[in-house]
Every structure is written in C-alpha cells, then in structure tokens.
C-alpha cells in the first residue's frame, strides 16, 4: 500500500468518526439541525475517498475522476449548508448547485489538456477554494455576534482556501501529480495533498464541533437562569448577569440605572380570578420588559410578582421615563381572561448607580423607592435620590416576594 493509499484509509476512519460525533450531537439535541448537515457532509466525504481508492482499478479513469471531484464538491456544499443553518444565514443553494454543475463540466473537459498544465490543475482546485470562501462568507454574514471561536473558524476557512489554491504549485515542486489518474496515488504530491486535506478537514470539523457544544452549553445555562412563565431571567440569573454587566459598565464609566416593579394587588387577582389569570398578568407585564430589554440591558422576574431591569447607558431621568411609560401602557391594557373593564397596575422604584456603590446597595435603594411608591398609594413611580441611601438594616425582614 502506497503512502497516499494509507492516508486515504486513515481519512475514511477519521471521516467516519467525525460523522458519528456530529450525529451524536444531533441525537442529543434535535434542534441542532447544523449537526445533521455536518454529519451528512462527512458521510459523503467517505464516498469520495472510496472512489479515490478505486480509481487505480479503471483503465479509463475520466468518469471516476469527475465523479470523485463532484462528490467531494457536494460534501463541501453540504458542509456550507450546515454552516448556514448554524449561523442563521439562508444557504446559497442556487449558486452552489450551479457552480457544482459548471465546475464538474469543466473538470470533464480539461481531461484532454496536458496533465501537468496549470489550467487543468486549477480546474480541480479553484472550485474547492471557492467553496471554502463561500463558507467564510456565510459565517461573516451571520446576524449574531461573533465570538473568538467563530473568528478562528473564519481564519481556518480562509487558510483552507489558500491551501487549495497552492496545490498546483506544490505538485510542481514535488515532481507533479503522476502521468495518469492511476499513477497519481503513487506520487509524493498525492501523499502531501491528502495530508493537507486531513489537517484542514479535522481542524474545521473540530472547530464546528466545539462551537456546537459551546452553543448547547450556553443554551443549557440560559435555560437554568430563565423563568419559565415570564421568559425573563429568574432571580439568580438576573443577579449574576446584572452584576457582570454592571462591573463592565463601571469600568467604562457608563451610566447605570435600575428599575424595580411590583404588580399591585396581585394576590387579589389570583384569589378573585384564579392563578391562570394571574399567570396571564405576569406574562403581559413581562412582555413590556422584553421590549425594553435591548442587548445591553438585563431584565428579570426576581420574585413572585416583582420584576427588575438594569438599564446600561441610561441615567436616572431616562430610567424614570421608561418606568412611567411602562406603568402607563400596562395600566391601560386589558389582560386576557380578566373582565374587559378591569385594569392592572404596577408600582415602580428607580435608582441610578452612584460612585463606589455596589450592586446590592443599588438594588436596596431601588427597592426602597418601590416601597415608597406602594406606601404612597401604588400605581406610581418613585425615584431614589443619592441622599436616600439607607442603611443595610433599614428594611430588614422585607424580601422581594409577596408584596400584594
């Protein structure tokens, strides 16, 4: 067995293992549609490798060579489709399929050119390079924020495209790619080419695997921090996320404000109309906070009928304006399941972070302002001025649940 044949055999084993790994992710989490496409891509890659191994048994290798080329190109198209599914980009199906037909026809036609001609070798390699660049473009055009792994993936796709473009020159440097398709597998170039293919195939697959696992873990953590009824962060998730966001804002010198809201007479709603109606009230109020929660803000349900939103880049006046708007809109909106003329209200406490103040102290001041709003008759917004900072024990014994 030649060195190239040995590497082809290794590649088949590797492709099978990678396909199995992607299938395992797809089975574990049915929402990972990208994993299914990736598994299909590496299964198709095994078919390509089998054709490559069989080429030496053909007297006229024209059609097997074209078939191997087309099958590998299909594998890259399927891979790119997986990337598109992962990064929420529409797969460029028409362009890729049209390119497949055109490139396969070109490879068939260049069989009549001298085997060592640059045009013939480029006809094989340019389409693969183009597919890698399409994959890079898919990741680049994703509407989601790109993290370090996503940027590394783009870099590896670019490097993979360059290695395809360099192959004709590598072939020339190591003595060509054989007198015919049968002799190809005995050349040094075949061994180098297959080795490069293994390295980049493994690198891309492992990166995508890690990215998919990262997303799965991130979503699992997010679900554990999310309140199932309001779909906002729960108390623990809010405090963790808000603490991290606040620390970053303080380092950058950005204004931070906190709004705490409590639904008025919520217990009476449950007692009079049932818990299903109470749940609908919570969902309705949470929808206002969802709309207010731009990417840099943090909103959560921190108690039974109590909510909070940390506003980054918003001063006290802006936070009060948001609270007043939410109060007015919520109070005017009928809630499904309640009498048409019944209106729910909420009370709000607002505070802006002061220098050297901790998140706990900010929370305490906003909560105190909320207490004043409830004591003052409910359905109103109260603001905590700097002078209203209270001692830690001023309201001991009153927690965030069941204010009524």
Burial of 394 (0-12, 13-18, 19+ CB in 10 A): exposed
Of 206, 138, 126, residue with least CA distance to 166: 126
**The residue to which tokens 């980009």 are assigned:** 89
- List phi, psi (to 5°) of 320: -65, -40
Of 309, 298, 290, residue with least CA distance to 230: 290
Of 176, 344, 201, residue with least CA distance to 269: 344
305 is catalytic: yes
How is residue 303 written in tokens? 């108690």
Burial of 147 (0-12, 13-18, 19+ CB in 10 A): exposed
Q: Rounded distance, CA 14 to CA 42, Å?
A: 9
Q: Rounded distance, CA 106 to CA 137, Å?
A: 24
DSSP 56-79: GG-SS-HHHHHHHHHHHHHHHHHH
Q: What angle do CA 292, 295, 299 make, to 5 degrees?
A: 50
Q: What angle do CA 133, 181, 99 make, to 5 degrees?
A: 30
- Which string of b and e fits 232-243 if b means at least 16 CB within 10 Å? bbbbebbbebbe
Q: Rounded distance, CA 398 to CA 403, Å?
A: 9
Q: Rounded distance, CA 201 to CA 380, Å?
A: 61
Contact 126, 102 (CB under 8 A): no
Of 118, 113, 128, residue with least CA distance to 171: 118
- How far from the centroid of its chain's Cα atoms is residue 247's Cα? 24
Which one of the listed residues 239, 305, 352, 357 is annotated catalytic?
A: 305
Is 326 in a helix, a strand, or coil? helix
Q: Rounded distance, CA 60 to CA 12, Å?
A: 25
Q: Rounded distance, CA 351 to CA 4, Å?
A: 70
Active-site positions read 305
């Amino acid at each position: 067995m030649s060195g190239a044949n040995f590497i082809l055999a290794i590649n088949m084993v590797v492709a099978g293992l990678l396909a199995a790994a992607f299938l395992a992710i797809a089975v574990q989490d049915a929402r990972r549609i990208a994993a299914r496409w990736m598994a299909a891509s590496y299964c198709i890659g095994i078919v390509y490798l089998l054709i490559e191994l069989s080429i030496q048994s053909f007297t006229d290798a024209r059609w097997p060579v074209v078939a191997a080329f087309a099958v590998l190109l299909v594998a890259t198209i399927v891979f790119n489709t997986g990337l598109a599914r992962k990064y929420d980009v529409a797969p460029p199906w028409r362009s890729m399929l049209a390119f497949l037909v055109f490139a396969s026809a070109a490879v068939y036609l260049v069989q009549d050119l001298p085997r060592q001609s640059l045009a013939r070798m480029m006809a094989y390699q340019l389409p693969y390079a183009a597919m890698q660049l399409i994959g890079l473009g898919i990741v680049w055009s994703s509407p989601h924020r790109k993290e370090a792994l996503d940027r590394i993936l783009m870099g590896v796709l670019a490097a993979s495209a360059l290695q395809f473009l360099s192959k004709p020159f590598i072939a020339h440097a190591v003595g060509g790619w054989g007198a015919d398709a049968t002799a190809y597998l005995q050349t040094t170039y075949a061994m180098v080419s297959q080795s490069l293919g293994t390295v980049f195939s493994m690198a891309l697959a492992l990166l995508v695997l890690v990215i998919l696992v990262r997303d799965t873990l991130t979503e699992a953590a997010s679900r554990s921090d999310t309140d199932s009824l309001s779909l906002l962060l729960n108390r623990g998730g809010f405090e963790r996320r808000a603490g991290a966001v606040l620390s970053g804002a303080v380092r950058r010198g950005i204004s931070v404000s906190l709004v705490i809201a409590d639904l008025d007479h919520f217990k009476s709603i449950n007692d009079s109309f049932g818990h299903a109606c109470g749940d609908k009230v919570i969902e309705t109020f949470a929808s206002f906070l969802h709309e207010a929660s731009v990417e840099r803000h943090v909103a959560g349900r921190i108690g039974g009928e109590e909510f909070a939103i940390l506003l980054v880049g918003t001063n006290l006046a802006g936070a009060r304006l948001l609270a007043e708007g939410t109060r007015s809109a919520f109070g005017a909106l009928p809630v499904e399941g309640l009498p048409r003329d019944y209106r729910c209200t909420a009370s709000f406490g607002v505070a802006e972070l002061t220098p050297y103040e901790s998140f706990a102290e900010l929370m305490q001041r906003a909560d105190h302002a909320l207490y004043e709003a409830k004591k003052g008759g409910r359905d109103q917004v109260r603001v905590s001025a700097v002078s209203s900072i209270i001692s830690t024990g001023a309201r001991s014994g009153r927690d965030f649940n069941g204010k009524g």
